[in-house]
Structure 1
């Protein structure tokens, strides 16, 4: 798998296909591999790039403050290192917040924007903010595996799944805590509508964390209709990659016809 120096990070990433660049950004307790089933199905004419975020996967480098603006800056440094000026942005969970912030910071570099299971655009609610749970996830691999499976209940428990669970559990605790602190303070709200590029907001009908109400609020802030994928949980990119792409590909194509 390729790596590239981007700022103070040696970023590990997946790189599939040729054509218009799409940057796929994973969530907390995850890695670039969560996009593998999507990347292997990507249509001709697109180049899919999925980096491991700071503190996660095989990317090497120091901790940061993990604020959303810092993670968005990491993302733009990664695209700069690859020589990519404009791209499609696709984010899942924490990654959705990162691409939304990246688009707020540099909207002129974004062709289209798509988010899956977007977190709370008005700040993480107090009842969801659970630092003690992050410690428990790190301390207990069996509990971690059970918790991750509960988030993606229909994902096949194959070799890829087992690898992703192992890689996810290797995430730094500092990155996990930094993520929930960042999500608690991140409150872009209706300012998201100023991004001004075609946007797609998706969620899973069975998602136990990012509820359909949360997805609908993100869609409202962006000024679009939400797309709720039936019969899947938090991670349609793994649970139902074909249905995920059936929504994503026509969205990407808007830029070619406009």
Structure 2
């Protein structure tokens, strides 16, 4: 059962789902590829006592519609802007994981006057390197292979193997659990099409094809927190250091031993770090500059 009520809004003829809880400064959480609001929902009651926590499912993911259309970073950023407009929210702190980090940076680049702060969690868009599994989704013919490996038969065999391993003491970590939950969402053609369109918009066979380093140095400085797991096998943690060197007002928190989902590995620490970051930074410099 969902611990919070899933709400729905229609944007450009398609239904977008989201969670909305609390009052105060708005934290907008953006999940990654194959993710959904469930990757963040465990943080809501850790943060909504003095923040308004907004957690959407991107189009193509979770409970949201999976239409034909634009699944680029800019397309997702524009959808989030439209959601904020519909809810009457002017400014937010963006918290983006993986693909969501890339969307957060694109949103900041396109709509800087609406961003208080950036929190980038194992973010895409900060370097070329990415796990070969994601690169394989961009190869010709992936659309024919994916239905086979995501079929009910294959998923059933994998789940049976997992149950057998659990009987001898194996426990899947946060990375495996989250990735598996995402993988199981690919059982229908619309979800697979949206996944391939999203992946191919930011990755090619050689790695990540979109780099924030091309435009962030010219954007209005904004307080930025980068969180990474030291054992991230999807995107290397050293991307955090290169980003810190390229961005002013940037703080890095490395979670030792965590993987690609540090907010799942250490949710209490993650919530504390975000809360401290918001409380200790002033995020209206871009508005000041625009009004000068």
Q: Give the TM interval when normalised to the shorter protein.
A: 0.7 to 0.9
Q: Does 1:92 align with 2:97?
A: yes
Deviation at 1:219? 2.9
Task: Please give the alpha-carbon distance, in whole angstroms, between the structure 2 residues aligned to 1:101 and 1:257.
Answer: 17
**Which one of 257, 261, 269 corresponds to residue 243 of structure 1?**
269
Aligned residue number for residue 149 of structure 1:
none
| Deviation of the 1:69 alpha carbon | 0.9
Residue in structure 2 matched with residue 11 of structure 1 by the alignment: 16
> Equivalent residue for 1:138?
150
Q: Separation in 2 of the partners of 1:251 and 1:37?
A: 19
Per the TM alignment, residue 82 of structure 1 is displaced from its structure 2 partner at its CA by 0.9
Q: 1:108 to 1:142 in 2, by over 3 A?
A: farther
Q: 2 CA distance for matches of 1:64 and 1:110? A: 26
Q: What is the alpha-carbon root mean square deviation over aligned residues?
A: 3.2
What residue ranges of structure 1 are gaps of 5+ in the alignment?
Answer: 147-151
Residue pair 1:35, 1:50 contacting (<8 A) in 2 also: yes
Cα distance in structure 2, aligned partners of 1:123 and 1:9: 33
1:111 aligns with 2:116: yes
Map of 1:175 onto structure 2: 194
Check 1:40–1:157 CA distance in 2 against 1; reply closer, same or farther (3 A cut): farther
CA separation of 1:52/1:250 partners in 2, compared to 1, >3 Å: closer, same or farther?
Answer: same
TM-score (norm 1): 0.84
Question: How many angstroms does 1:6 deviate by?
Answer: 2.4
Pairing partner for 1:214 from 239, 248, 257? 239
Q: Contact 1:12–1:51 at 8 Å: present in 2 too?
A: yes
**More divergent stretch after superposition (136-145 vs 102-111):** 136-145
Deviation string 1:198-234 (CA, Å, 9 cap, x unpaired) is 1011111111111112232233333324221112111
Task: Determine the C-alpha separation between the residues in 2 that align with 1:192 and 1:244.
Answer: 25
Deviation larger for 32-41 or 119-128: 119-128
**124-133 or 79-88, larger mean C-alpha shift:** 124-133
Point out where structure 2 has 5 or more consecutive residues left out of the alignment: 1-5, 162-170, 204-208, 285-292
Structure 2 residue 1 is the aligned partner of structure 1 residue 2: no
Bigger drift between 9-18 and 188-197 goes to 188-197
> Greater CA radius of gyration, 1 or 2?
2
Is the 8 Å Cα contact of residues 28 and 176 (structure 1) preserved in structure 2?
Answer: yes
**Where does residue 129 of structure 1 map in the other structure?**
135
Give the C-alpha shift of residue 91 in structure 1. 0.5
**Residue 192, structure 1, aligned to residue 253, structure 2:** no
Q: Could you tell me which of 23, 32, 45 is aligned with 1:27?
A: 32
2:78 matched to 1:73?
Answer: yes
Hey, which bits of structure 1, 4+ residues long, moved more than 6 A? 143-146
What secondary structure, in the 3-state scheme, does the structure 1 residue paired with 2:46 have?
coil
Q: Deviations over 1:157-203 (max 9, x none)?
A: 99xx7994576445711222122222233222152232411101111
Please give the secondary structure, in 1, of the residue aligned with 2:254. strand
Aligned residue pairs, count: 252
Instruction: Name 2:287's counterpart in structure 1.
Output: none
Is 1:123–1:183's contact at 8 Å kept on the other side of the alignment? Answer: no
